[in-house]
């Protein structure tokens, strides 16, 4: 009897050692996520589509994941970060344009009244973007963006804008790529505003970034071929434009799509309409202490119809306050 008990104890100890070694060999791929429905749903989906021989297996070439940028991969309050860039460009260019002192929306910006400058809505915003983002080559614009993103800081947190990215989403991108997903940004932001820095920040190369764009023309300048950005919008990669952009830029329907606003709803609907396993993910900003809490009435990143549809159709919704252990990565300064 004693030998039987000893044998059983040894078997239990051996099992515990095996489990312990297995756990040590497989670290948590999403350590900044709290255990819950959001995290478990993501892991379960990835397991399903990567299990060879299963009915839900998806070949690596078809494992396309699309992510909105503003409010989904990095913050977007109190306004889109590209607008901060445009405002800084207005200040830098102002000495060349003395007429801006009495011309809106520039006059208000130069007085520090951003609210008044943007009171004109999209026409005012478009004028700011066209004035500050056009009339130069694509290479010149990329240099301006890289220089700005290297030092510009968020006015409320004092963080670099590239430190206003979401640590849990950075982990999700890495996790998906480790499982042979190809990750794309599909954003309403400017494609050439994002491309100079997305690879360094997200690990997403420029050819996997889709966004809004301006008309670009080929020219020879001093015998050198260049692409020149014109003051005319070519494509808006938002709302209904997102599935169009996915089709033209990627050429495959995603099986995984992530967004945070009604501007992303059509992308998630388009993803859900495909055959086979699909995963639709919404980020709900519920954490006023560590970030901002906003949804249905927000002037930026409004989440209203999308939140209702997500709940009706059983899509996964991240509750930032509840589901994330941390929001931003450690500061670099």
Asked whether residue 142 is assigned to any structural domain, the reply reads no
Asked whether residue 99 is assigned to any structural domain, the reply reads no
Burial class of 8 by CB neighbour count within 10 A (0 to 12, 13 to 18, 19+): exposed
Strands 209-221, 224-235: pairing kind: antiparallel
Q: pTM for the whole thing?
A: 0.91
Please report, for the domain that includes residue 245, its CATH number. Answer: 3.40.50.1000
Asked whether residue 69 is assigned to any structural domain, the reply reads yes
Asked whether residue 316 is assigned to any structural domain, the reply reads yes
Whole domain around residue 39: which residue ranges? 29-78+162-323
* C-alpha angle 124-130-135 in degrees, rounded to nearest 5: 155
Residue 246 near residue 221, CB atoms below 8 Å: no
152: helix, coil or strand? coil
Number of domains making up the chain:
1
Asked whether residue 296 is assigned to any structural domain, the reply reads yes
**What is the Cα–Cα distance from 234 to 214, expressed in whole angstroms?**
5
Asked whether residue 55 is assigned to any structural domain, the reply reads yes
**What is the Cα–Cα distance from 118 to 128, expressed in whole angstroms?**
9
Give, for all 333 residues of the chain, the pLDDT tens digit. Answer: 444 545 554 554 554 454 454 445 689 999 999 999 999 999 999 999 999 999 999 999 999 999 999 999 999 999 999 999 999 999 999 999 999 999 999 999 999 999 999 998 888 898 999 999 999 999 999 999 999 999 999 999 999 999 999 999 999 999 999 999 999 999 999 999 999 999 999 999 999 999 999 999 999 999 999 999 999 999 999 999 999 999 999 999 999 999 999 999 999 999 999 999 999 999 999 999 999 999 999 999 999 999 999 999 999 999 999 999 999 999 877
Asked whether residue 90 is assigned to any structural domain, the reply reads no
211: helix, coil or strand? strand
Strands 256-259, 279-286: pairing kind: parallel
Asked whether residue 227 is assigned to any structural domain, the reply reads yes
Sign of CA dihedral 195, 197, 199, 203: negative
């Amino acid at each position: 009897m004693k030998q039987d008990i000893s044998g059983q104890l040894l078997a239990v100890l051996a099992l515990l050692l095996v489990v312990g070694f297995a756990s040590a060999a497989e670290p948590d791929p999403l350590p900044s996520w709290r255990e819950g429905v959001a995290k478990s749903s993501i892991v379960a989906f990835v397991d399903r589509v990567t299990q060879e021989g299963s009915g839900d297996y998806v070949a690596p070439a078809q494992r396309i994941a699309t992510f909105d940028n503003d409010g989904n991969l990095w913050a977007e309050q109190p306004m889109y970060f590209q607008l901060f860039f445009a405002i800084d460009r207005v200040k830098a260019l102002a000495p060349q344009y003395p007429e801006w002192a009495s011309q809106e929306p520039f006059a208000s910006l130069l007085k520090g009244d951003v609210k008044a400058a943007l009171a004109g809505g999209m026409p005012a915003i478009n004028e700011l973007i066209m004035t500050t983002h056009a009339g130069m080559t694509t290479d010149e614009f990329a240099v301006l963006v890289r220089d700005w993103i290297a030092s510009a800081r968020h006015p409320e947190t004092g963080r670099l804008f590239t430190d206003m990215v979401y640590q849990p989403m950075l982990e999700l991108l890495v996790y998906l790529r480790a499982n042979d997903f190809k990750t794309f940004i599909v954003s309403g932001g400017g494609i050439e505003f994002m491309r100079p820095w997305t690879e360094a920040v997200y690990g997403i190369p420029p050819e996997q970034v889709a966004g809004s764009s301006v008309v670009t023309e080929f020219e020879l300048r001093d015998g050198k071929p260049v692409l020149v950005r014109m003051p005319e919008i070519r494509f808006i990669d938002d709302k209904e434009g997102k599935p169009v952009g996915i089709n033209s830029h990627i050429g495959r329907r995603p099986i995984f799509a992530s967004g945070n606003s009604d501007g992303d709803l059509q992308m998630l609907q388009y993803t859900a309409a495909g055959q086979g396993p699909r995963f639709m993910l919404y980020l709900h900003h519920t954490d006023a202490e560590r970030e901002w809490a906003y949804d249905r009435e927000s002037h930026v990143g409004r989440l209203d119809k999308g939140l209702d549809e997500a709940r009706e159709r059983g899509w996964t919704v991240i509750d930032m306050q509840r589901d994330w252990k941390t929001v931003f990565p450690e500061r670099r300064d």
